[in-house]
Amino acid sequence: MAEPWTLRVALAYPASLAVPCAGLVVLAMSWPAQSAAGQGLVFVLVGLAGVLLWTLTEYVLHRWMLHGVEPFQRWHLAHHRHAGVAIRVPVLFSVLLVLAVVGLPALLSGGSAVAAPLSAGMLLGNLLQESVHHRLHDTRPLGSWLEARRRLHGFHHFRDERRGYGTLTDLWDRVFGTLPPPG
């Protein structure tokens, strides 16, 4: 059974970064006016918390959605089998994800001034994760941090897809017991 066109329309990297970037533009345009002087450090810390929250979101989406929910599971399995082929992200998936990342913090905080930096941090985490994931599938040499990420990602792809879900960090693999064994 073929997917509806709304799921077939997908963008390859770097075009796949357009939707999260658009989310950042919307956040910048709607940044609360009361978030001016004196709160810079708070907003930086909340933004960093947003990046950390993104790494948890990425882990959850990767582990339970991409490895358990159709049609995402089928697409992701194709990615595992053909790791050298450019990753394509469905536009509908990106739009819904950005709407959730921008909307949920605002709704849950009652429109608090910290919702925008939290969402911005999550969107930055999403951009970093997509960029790093793309780079992990590249054959060019990497620095030590990226090489460590590549080894864990390679374990996930080629040895045991039930381990090593994190792209930017292995923190959540440690917390949830899915870290590949050492060596």
pLDDT digits (tens, 9 = 90+) for 124-164: 999 999 999 999 998 887 899 999 999 999 999 999 999 99
pLDDT digits (tens, 9 = 90+) for 18-76: 999 999 999 888 876 665 556 788 889 999 999 999 999 999 999 999 999 998 898 88
The C-alpha atoms of residue 173 and residue 60 are separated, in whole angstroms, by 10
This prediction has a pTM of 0.92
At 75 the pLDDT is 86
Confidence class of residue 123 from pLDDT cuts 50, 70 and 90? very high
Displacement of CA 32 from its chain's centroid (Å): 25
CA neighbor of 49 nearest in space, from 102, 114, 96, 103? 114
CA neighbor of 180 nearest in space, from 158, 155, 148? 155
Contact call for residues 51 and 122 (beta carbons, < 8 A)? yes
Alpha helices in the chain, H assignment, sequence order: 5-8, 18-29, 40-60, 72-81, 91-108, 115-136, 144-158, 171-175
